Amino acid sequence: MPCKVKWEEMFPDEMERAIEEHPLLYLPYGMCEPHGFHNALGLDGIKCYEICVRAAQEGGGVVAPLTMWHIGEQGIGVPWLTRQSAPQPYITSIGHELFVQGLIWHLRAAVARGFEAVIAMTGHYGGTECDMRSAVEVFNERIPLPIWALADWECIDYKQYKGDHAGPCETSQLWAVRPDLVDVSRIPEHDGSKRIFASALRSGEASRVEGDRIVASQVRNLVEGGNRLLEQSPGDLVDPGPDGAREICAEMVSRDIEWVYMMDTERHGQYWSADDEGGKHRAKTIESHGAML
Ligand SMILES: [Zn+2]
């Protein structure tokens, strides 16, 4: 039987031992939103969570409960949604400001519980990963907790796959980790010219076997990344307490941070283009084959 890694399923003595052996915490994030008629709505979070669980089983560490309330229906998510042919999107969205403050509280809890490094990974991306890193920067000004904040596509190191939305990459990933939540027989006949419930996937374009390989590359990179984080950890981190978490949140909110997910369409297009910051960042991640930068 694989070792237990899910925080909420552990007995206190199991948790104590897991932290003693490998004080790494995985924080998985996702959001329910349209992912075609063939994928469960919670694809982003479920995929991310299952990948974290496999990485922790392989390399040690604990996986925190999945956070499925995320940033949507605002910023760049508004024009995106209008193009998806999904009049009722069944989204579990919350305010951007709540999500990034939630992340600060999760990081504080990691320190308070005795973890010495964190991998915070989101399965819902396209800017949210950049905003998580901005929040992490503010947190790290006060607490030197080694943190790798990323979107799951950033640690894929297999063929040309670098994430998508309910396309061959994501569908194959979910198919690999939760085959009961993918049903390609639900894909209607279409020519691929427009998105159908936020997916352009046609039958035969996703594969469970490819999903297995994509996920295996992610697990490998996460295990290696987690080890590197722990090597960098100074240990003996001081818990700022709930008051400290509140202060960090207040500091973050008062800053003039350019949140990527909240950019207007024009600025986001410019930022995300090949030559600008976001584009350069994406290219750098892709060149590094998903290795932690
Ligand atoms: Zn997705």
Strand order of the β-sheet with 117-122 is: 62-63, 24-29, 117-122, 147-151
What range defines the domain where residue 226 resides? 7-287
Number of domains the chain is built from: 1
> Does the residue 267 lie in any domain?
yes
pLDDT in tens, 5-22: 999 999 999 999 999 999
Predicted confidence band of residue 290 (pLDDT cuts 50, 70, 90) = low
What is the distance in A from the centroid of ligand 1 to the CA of 215?
15
What is the distance in A from the centroid of ligand 1 to the CA of 5?
24
> Does the residue 240 lie in any domain?
yes
> Does the residue 1 lie in any domain?
no
> Does the residue 21 lie in any domain?
yes
What is the distance in A from the centroid of ligand 1 to the CA of 54?
19
The residue to which tokens 């994406």 are assigned? 282
Write down the pLDDT at residue 281: 81
What is the distance in A from the centroid of ligand 1 to the CA of 43?
6
- Is the confidence at residue 289, as pLDDT, over 80? no
Residue 82, number of CB atoms within 10 A of its CB? 8
Three-state SS across the chain?
A: CCCCCEHHHCCHHHHHHHHHHCCEEEEEECCCCCCCCCECCCHHHHHHHHHHHHHHHHHCCEECCCECCEECCCCCHHHHHHCCCCCCCCCCEECHHHHHHHHHHHHHHHHHCCCCEEEEEECCCCCHHHHHHHHHHHHHHHCCCCEEEEEHHHHCCCCCCCCCCCCHHHHHHHHHHCHHHECHHHCCCCCCCCCECCECCCCCCCCHHHHHHHHHHHHHHHHHHHHHHHHHCCCCCCCCHHHHHHHHHHHHHHCCCCCCCCCCHHHHHHHHCCCCHHHHHHHHHHHCCCCCC
Q: Does the predicted model carry a pTM greater than 0.85?
A: yes
191: CB partners within 8 A, 6+ apart = none
CA distance 130 to 179: 30
- Is the confidence at residue 277, as pLDDT, over 90? no
Share of the chain above pLDDT 90, in %: 87
83: CB partners within 8 A, 6+ apart = 195
Average pLDDT, the chain: 94
> Does the residue 2 lie in any domain?
no
What is the distance in A from the centroid of ligand 1 to the CA of 211?
14
Write down the pLDDT at residue 286: 73
pLDDT in tens, 260-272: 999 999 999 999 8
pLDDT in tens, 196-205: 999 999 999 9
- Is the confidence at residue 293, as pLDDT, over 50? no
What is the distance in A from the centroid of ligand 1 to the CA of 198?
10
What is the distance in A from the centroid of ligand 1 to the CA of 89?
13
Predicted confidence band of residue 280 (pLDDT cuts 50, 70, 90) = confident
What is the distance in A from the centroid of ligand 1 to the CA of 85?
16
Q: Point out the least confidently predicted range of 7-16, 174-183, 185-194.
A: 185-194
Write down the pLDDT at residue 291: 63
> Does the residue 48 lie in any domain?
yes
Which CATH number goes with the domain that contains 187? 3.40.50.10310
pLDDT in tens, 225-238: 999 999 999 989 99
